[in-house]
Structure 1
């Protein structure tokens, strides 16, 4: 009887009936199809792995020693050339006419072809090379013309190997990388992050067409995510108070803040004061969110009929079983998730019986009124 009543739209309710959520025929209403995914250990494992990736997960292939900073197009480069004695190309025979045994080539910018110009050596390739490699090229070209030449190449102003820090910082900055190696937190400290609750602060790193986001608190807590920066990286710092929604037969309904860098599904249900003991169906706890097609595929969900990259998904959790609580502790919540707890079937039956009783009482009251006004006849 409760199952029949579940399809009745005349009864008041705070959301869809559990049988409607699970009914395949309702999973493509108005062209908004969704995938129904039961919470299993494999599903929870995939979700936990996604949440734990951080920066090191996305840029794992970039992990390694300090980046090798090289000369790039646009850099300002200085060259000094030494000779062993006077009378060569650069040092006049009259040694007293000038001090020192070297000459400084005017600082010049690496041109669009990646070259610099050195007298008697011609156009020398510099872009993509270390200063020591450019030095070797200059010495080799001058070896038969100058007296035991030596060269020193220095980058006066590094414009190509820079990192940009934007967003909610005291002073957005673009600075060059050095051979010491700068990490993510080094760049943030240079720009001066604005004072916010650390669990509401997030850092997005963009690199080579890829990007990854991590909370500031987690970045500090997990040193592995404080990775070395690479040339042309962009860091975006922002603050965002993350929230989720709880509806249905929970102790409280509404919007709830995370107030932490991460919370689990069990904590989210707890913040909403758990399940209403006189109303909720523990077998019908639903988590609504948008998942990627690849994530669903990793969970073993059939996505052959899905063309879109982002798929509306409803996870079902059974808190009637003890393992349901254990699984919920491992499911990380995301910003704007929706938790919905359906009513138990007996609640719908009670609503229906109350409606019948109300109708019967109304009819009886009307009959009594008619008898009083017009008599038994």
Structure 2
């Protein structure tokens, strides 16, 4: 007689053994991440062991902020006039009876004349009597003064000229966004030394907390972004203002994601300018003692090609400027905690804690136990059905009414 229970158990075992890779899981296994061929399917990535050398490399070559994007750290140069700026011209002569000063001493209180204010026209010129059109746009006041003197020196008596900026309508610095009072103001003259934080102060300061505020500087068609606290903690990034700078402040909390066998899964705020990998793991509730493999904690991030090269990654296998990198750390090793406490997190980082291998075994046994329980019930039901059919058949043959 065929043993239905044995056949059913064999069938269940065969199906489960063939489907071990489909067991429920919160992410990839540690073995699949460390497989050399794992990164060749969808998105290629590089696996880097997180140690003191790795942390040192990342510390030296982390994003440089404004100082790295804008290398000119000098104060703004002398202000140059632009089209639309309003200027005043004052001309002095050494004695009366010259080109501008009359002979009658009582007519004028001094040996100078101030021309009416005028805006630099669309051609970039201003007009000075007896000197004609004087180029002014793109020039400093000293350059304009010299041009006027050269034009009238043969007609006026030892002339001297002062050209002053009456209303600055170009070369302005703009501050907007998450500040208390958005403002535009003239760029400071040479030597004034206003910096990025000075401009934000003119705008009434930032609205949000410093650790969730970001500063964008646009200059000459180029942009760079830094956290606001970066300007305070690293003064090298608090660079001098230049004419036409545009500063935009926006609010965006720095966040990281945690998945796998962490105490909690989800999205977490830094709530600080900087936190370390150890801080982030703690924010996510640590590792689940009954589930996590402390030797398989992974940090997902994209690094620049230059940084990836310095980490020893073969960048020829990748395209684009950003290389997907997975950092692996072992928290079973006591020194792993020291390394994790120095590894700086970045906005958008992803932490994944792999399950211990024993967890997968436990899952398999639980599913096997459930399957066997179901099989026992099915076999019992089948046996009961056979017995019922046998009894019905015997009753039918013995019944006088032909059941």
Category of TM-score, reference length = shorter chain? 0.7 to 0.9
Larger radius of gyration: 2
What's 2:393 paired with? none
Q: Distance in 2 between matches of 1:104 and 1:337?
A: 64
CA contact (8 A) 2:82 2:171 kept: no
Instruction: Give SS of 1:164's match.
Output: strand
Q: 1:281 to 1:303 in 2, by over 3 A?
A: same
Q: Distance in 2 between matches of 1:241 and 1:50?
A: 23
Q: Deviations over 1:134-156 (max 9, x none)?
A: 32332333322211211111011
What's 2:401 paired with? none
- The farther-off stretch of 12-21 and 281-290 is 281-290
1:196-275 pair list within 5 angstroms? 196-275=208-287
Q: 1:149 aligns with which of 153, 159, 164?
A: 159
Instruction: Give SS of 2:20's match.
Output: coil
CA contact (8 A) 1:88 1:147 kept: yes
Q: 1:297 to 1:267 in 2, by over 3 A?
A: same
**Alignment partner of 1:110 is 2:124:** no
- CA shift at 1:263, angstroms? 0.9
Unaligned runs of at least 5 residues, structure 1 = none
Unaligned runs of at least 5 residues, structure 2 = 1-16, 391-403
Instruction: Give SS of 2:314's match.
Output: coil
CA contact (8 A) 1:125 1:134 kept: yes
Q: Distance in 2 between matches of 1:304 and 1:172?
A: 47
Q: Deviations over 1:338-367 (max 9, x none)?
A: 110001112212222333333334434555
- CA shift at 1:163, angstroms? 1.0
What's 2:81 paired with? 72
Q: Deviations over 1:273-305 (max 9, x none)?
A: 212222212221111223333332232311113
- The farther-off stretch of 253-262 and 330-339 is 330-339
Q: Distance in 2 between matches of 1:209 and 1:299?
A: 32
Q: 1:259 to 1:157 in 2, by over 3 A?
A: same
CA contact (8 A) 1:51 1:332 kept: no
RMSD: 2.8
1:10-29 pair list within 5 angstroms? 10-29=22-41
Corresponding pairs, count: 371
- The farther-off stretch of 225-234 and 284-293 is 284-293
Q: 2:336 aligns with which of 313, 324, 327?
A: 324
TM-score (norm 2): 0.83
Q: 1:209 to 1:291 in 2, by over 3 A?
A: farther
- CA shift at 1:23, angstroms? 2.3
